[in-house]
Amino acid sequence: MVTMKVAFIGLGLIGGSIAKTIRKKYPDSEIVALNRSEAPLEEARKDGTINAGTHEVDHNFEGCDYIFLCTPVETNKFFLPRLKPYLQSGCVLTDAGSVKGVIHKAVSELLPEAHFIGGHPMAGSEKSGYANANDHLIENAYYILTPGENSTIDELNRYEKFVSSLGAIPLIMSPDRHDYITAAVSHVPHLVAYSLVDLVKLKDTPAEYMKLIAAGGFKDITRIAGSDPTMWEQICLENPENIVELLKDYEEILSGMRKMVEEADGKGLHKIFEEMRDYRASFSVSSAGPIKKIYDIYCDIIDEAGAIATIATILSTSGISIKNIGIVHNRTFEEGALHIEFSDEASKTRAVEVLERHNYSIFLK
């Protein structure tokens, strides 16, 4: 028995992951997808995620309960008028983009009769494409909903319950508030990370010693500079007002800190370091945010042949998968010589238990 029908425009990392999650939670649902390239559609048909695939908006979009727009805004805008014949009564049109104002404006202009509820799953990966999609990407992640003018309370409540049933945590707010908040906690931090990498690139020695010894805190705060440049170009152009406003505020904070350093104001520096340390400690660690969480540990080992292989074997025989592993060559911020990353919190917790039982010293941030 088909419990619902859901359509996707775009079957990349986010669209593919949401589709896989729906298939997992609602195995009898009918899922169709539009994608310009054939390979993701073929893979999704083979693994059972979708029932049908297409390269254009056609009869496959008839009778949908939800239609997800999961392509860049300009591409979504192209498809909006083409969806008009298929927006039956009760069909919720939604998206999965990082900026909400531009898509709400586009829907209002190009498809004003649509019952649109913007959506932003605060989750992602350093990898892209359907090949990297999974059925737990949005699990325990905040999923922001931004209701449009034509969406009803009943539709919003239904969609909120649907998002909850997929394992995500729905938050409801206006498009403007969403764009300001995500500019502060996601968009500006990415620009800061890119700029810090640029600083080292510009100021490094001819022998590239900065690049060589960069580790610890520098790698932590610049990790997100490895994100997709095309995506972040689009985000900056879609949310410029909020990003510029917050960058100006950040510049003032940096100027204040520079002044304290210039004037050797130890008390002032200590005060702001202490206050911000305590504030950061109050952040929730129970769910995903817009900057993907790293599940990692540091392990103290002796540099000898087979040391890493021994740990890998211990974890493997305990059924624990390692996402990444490597020697730390800079102990400025780490106490352990071996850095190990895992895919989820459960694997990390289990690894700590197993390694400590084998008398390894484990350090957590």
Whether 164 and 185 map to the same domain: the answer is no
CATH of the domain at 317: 3.30.70.260
Token duo for residue 154:
């009943």
What is the number of structural domains in the chain? Answer: 3
Whether 215 and 277 map to the same domain: the answer is yes
Looking at 121, 152, 173, which one is the last position of a domain? 173
86 CB-near residues (< 8 Å, 6+ apart): 57, 61, 62, 64, 67
Q: 96 φ, ψ to 5°?
A: -140, 30
Whether 9 and 127 map to the same domain: the answer is yes
Neighbours of 343 (CB within 10 A): 15
Whether 169 and 22 map to the same domain: the answer is yes
Whether 15 and 143 map to the same domain: the answer is yes
Range of the domain at 108: 5-173
Measured CA to CA, the distance from residue 171 to residue 248 in angstroms comes to 28
Whether residue 158 lies inside any domain: the answer is: yes
Whether residue 287 lies inside any domain: the answer is: no
pLDDT tens for the 365 residues of the chain, in order: 458 999 999 999 999 999 999 999 999 999 999 999 999 999 999 999 999 999 999 999 999 999 999 999 899 999 999 999 999 888 999 999 999 999 999 999 999 999 999 999 988 766 778 988 999 889 888 999 999 999 999 999 999 999 999 999 999 999 999 999 999 999 999 999 999 999 999 999 999 888 888 766 787 788 888 878 888 898 999 999 999 999 999 999 999 999 999 999 999 999 999 999 999 888 765 545 555 667 888 888 776 778 888 999 999 999 998 888 877 654 444 555 788 888 888 899 999 999 999 988 888 76
Whether 29 and 89 map to the same domain: the answer is yes
Measured CA to CA, the distance from residue 226 to residue 103 in angstroms comes to 26
Whether 308 and 221 map to the same domain: the answer is no
Cα 63–Cα 69–Cα 73 angle in degrees, nearest 5: 145
CA dihedral 214, 220, 226, 231 (to 10 degrees): -150
CATH of the domain at 217: 1.10.3660.10
99 with 239: CB under 8 angstroms? yes
Whether 147 and 38 map to the same domain: the answer is yes
Looking at 173, 196, 224, which one is the last position of a domain? 173
User: In 3D, which of 63, 53, 59 has the Cα closest to residue 91?
Assistant: 63
Whether 98 and 244 map to the same domain: the answer is no
Whether 166 and 41 map to the same domain: the answer is yes
Token duo for residue 184:
């502060």
